[in-house]
Amino acid sequence: MSKRKKVLTYTISILLGAILIGSIGLNIYLFYYTYNIDNNRSYLEYPEEVYIMEAGILKNNLLFENGIDVTLVYDFDNADYTELIQQYNITSIAGEGTELQRAIRLMNEFAPRLWHHSNYDNRIEIRALPLLEYSLNNKNNGINCRNKAQILNEMCLALSIYSRKIWIMPNSPYDTDCHVVNEIWDTTLNKWVMLDMTNNQYWVDANGTPLSIIEIRTKGALREFCTPVYPSDNFSNLQDLKEKYMPSFLYIMKNMVYTRYCAEYGVGEAEVEYLLFPKNLDKSLESGLLEISEISVTNTPYEE
């Protein structure tokens, strides 16, 4: 072999060796860098870890107390309904279809036009007409979930859709943040379905079937698939939607420990009187409300 070829071979060997050593060094660096980052991150930065905690709370409180059987009352006859229909064109917006389809169209039309202010002080009468006059299309006059749910509730009742607003509550006595949502009765599905007017969302299972509060709560406790969705979403990949909407998912699951109900639903907010409460939960969280049975809030709202 010529001297020139020997030099070339030697040079190539050195280069290949340097590349190999550099590659090994880079992989070692990346391994330890990633390891250190992962070990320095809080578990709160992993949504799945937060959900594990929330699911455990729900699982420990899965069963409800054997409360009394009650019949919630729904008022479909009020002069305000006529004005809601005429002034806000809700019959046309709801359109044709099932109760759920119509209620979702109402939610999807009005939810984006009502801004959310969590610190809103309930200065306006909790009634759909004055609330809409105050807040609709007005960024400066945001309202909270309690009042948004009242608006959707009256709109649905005005169209003869059984609807109620419900307080979904957290576990911790130190957590003063709860959420208020709606449930409507859909005769086609033959069950209640939750609508979240504040977030313009409802929830579905792995098959895309809409869910009630109790169903969401149960699936959360058992770590079965469910996810919030928007009315405009394509259901072709529900897992992707769950990951996309994880903040909403975790927030609702946090507030699924127990629920509060009014005795009557109509124009204006009736007093909260009923409580669906878990067997294992500290009863000092609530007082002065009647504990009702699970069947009271899962059965049909009318006599069959």
The full DSSP string for 173-220 is TT----EEEEEEEETTTTEEEEEETTTTEEEEETT--B--HHHHHHHH
Q: How confident is the model at residue 44 (pLDDT cuts 50, 70, 90)?
A: low
Beta strands 290-291 and 272-276, pairing class: parallel
Give me the pLDDT at residue 40, please: 58
CB 62 within 8 A of CB 294: no
What span, in angstroms and rounded, lies between the C-alpha atoms of 252 and 269? 23
Burial of 246 (0-12, 13-18, 19+ CB in 10 A): middle
Give me the pLDDT at residue 228, please: 98
Give me the pLDDT at residue 288, please: 87
**Which helix (H) or strand (E) is 260 found in, with range?**
strand 258-262
pLDDT over 70 percentage in the chain: 85
Give me the pLDDT at residue 272, please: 95
Strand partners, 114: none
Q: pTM of the predicted model, to two decimals?
A: 0.85
**Sequence-distant contacts of 197-200: CB under 8 A, at least 24 apart:** 197/107, 197/110, 197/111, 197/114, 197/145, 197/148, 197/149, 197/151, 197/152, 198/111, 198/116, 198/144, 198/145, 198/148, 198/149, 199/111, 199/228, 199/248, 200/107, 200/108, 200/111, 200/112, 200/230, 200/231
Q: How confident is the model at residue 46 (pLDDT cuts 50, 70, 90)?
A: confident
Give me the pLDDT at residue 284, please: 82
pLDDT, averaged across the chain: 90
Give me the pLDDT at residue 303, please: 72
Question: pLDDT tens-digit profile of 244-291?
Answer: 999 999 999 999 999 999 999 999 999 999 999 999 998 888 878 999
Strand partners, 274: 261, 290
Q: How confident is the model at residue 7 (pLDDT cuts 50, 70, 90)?
A: very low
Q: CB-hemisphere CA count at 13 Å for 197?
A: 33
Q: Vertex 18, ends 17 and 21: CA angle to 5°? A: 85
CB 162 within 8 A of CB 72: no
Mean pLDDT of 123-137: 98
Q: How confident is the model at residue 125 (pLDDT cuts 50, 70, 90)?
A: very high
Which stretches of the chain are DSSP H helices? Answer: 3-40, 47-60, 79-88, 90-94, 99-110, 128-135, 145-158, 213-222, 238-244, 246-254, 295-298
CB 210 within 8 A of CB 100: yes
pLDDT over 90 percentage in the chain: 79
* Lookup: tokens for 82: 């006529």
Give me the pLDDT at residue 11, please: 58
Mean pLDDT of 131-144: 97
Mean pLDDT of 77-94: 98
Q: Which residues contact 193 (CB under 8 A, 6 or more apart)?
A: 100, 183, 184, 185, 186, 202, 210, 211, 212
> In terms of pLDDT, which residue wins out, 166 or 45?
166
Question: pLDDT tens-digit profile of 168-227?
Answer: 999 988 999 999 999 999 999 999 999 999 999 999 999 999 999 999 999 999 999 999
Give me the pLDDT at residue 14, please: 57
